Amino acid sequence: MKISTVDFAKSLYTQGENVPSDFPQVAFSGRSNVGKSSLINVLLQRTRKKLARVSSTPGKTQSLNFYLVNNHFFLVDLPGFGYAKISVSIRDSWKIMIEQYLQEEQMLRGVVHLVDARHDPTMMDQQMISFLATLNLPTLVVLTKIDKLKKTQRSNVITTAINDLRLDEDQLLLFSSKTGEGRTELLDALEVLVGSKNSYSSSG
């Protein structure tokens, strides 16, 4: 897939708000500070004028943000989870909104879930993947910040992620927002997802 155009379409802040239009959607999820905004900017080639807001402070994304790519599909940036420095009520409202979106959005074609390659998947990561499996949503896991690891560490990290999250090997990709590693492979995966609802099915 070649990125031709990217346009910010809409942000949803509360349950029940309507999505922008009936294009296929792929949602991006992950814990706060996993590098989601940086990945989205590199993936969509918006590194000079950043599309997704990048911050050293986790929890910056506080809404469901819809970006229309190539006038063909929406990339949906979900709020990061697991950020402790926000109130319980806000965290709960995010959780409800995200779960409702994942359960009810008919145009959602799959979820790309990000995990920091430097750390083992957390219980929240495992719960998210299990939740997506119950919904039968195609799921791809991307290990971010892979440039921070030595090449000799990669094999163990990949094995751990596959085992902890109960993935098939073709559900896992490596990505570096610094070097661009994995960008082509992720774009190819997105092309498959928006063209099919049955590729990269989550193995519960």
Assess contact for 134 and 104: CB atoms under 8 A: no
Check pLDDT > 60 for residue 59. no
Window from 23-37, 74-88, 90-104 with minimum mean pLDDT: 74-88
Check pLDDT > 70 for residue 203. no
Q: Convert the pLDDT of each residue in 160-199 to its tens digit.
A: 999 999 999 999 999 999 999 999 999 999 999 998 544 4
- Residue 20: helix, strand or coil by DSSP? coil
- Residue 111: helix, strand or coil by DSSP? strand
Taking the alpha carbons at both ends of the chain, their separation in whole angstroms is: 29
pLDDT at 82: 62
Q: Going from the N-terminus, what domains does the chain have, and what CATH number goes with each?
A: 6-195 (3.40.50.300)
What is the rounded average pLDDT of the residues 35-41?
A: 92
pLDDT at 90: 57
Q: What whole-number distance in Å separates Cα of residue 109 and Cα of residue 145? A: 25
Token pair 């910056």 is found at: 60
pLDDT at 55: 45
The whole-chain average pLDDT of the chain stands at 85
37 token code pair = 């905004």
197 or 146: which leads in pLDDT: 146
- Report residue 30's pLDDT band, with 50, 70 and 90 as the boundaries: very high
pLDDT at 17: 74
Q: Convert the pLDDT of each residue in 111-120 to its tens digit.
A: 999 999 999 9
Cα angle 159, 163, 164; round to 5: 115
Check pLDDT > 50 for residue 58. no
Check pLDDT > 90 for residue 156. yes
pLDDT at 39: 94
Q: What whole-number distance in Å separates Cα of residue 55 and Cα of residue 160? A: 28
- Report residue 63's pLDDT band, with 50, 70 and 90 as the boundaries: confident
pTM (two decimals): 0.86
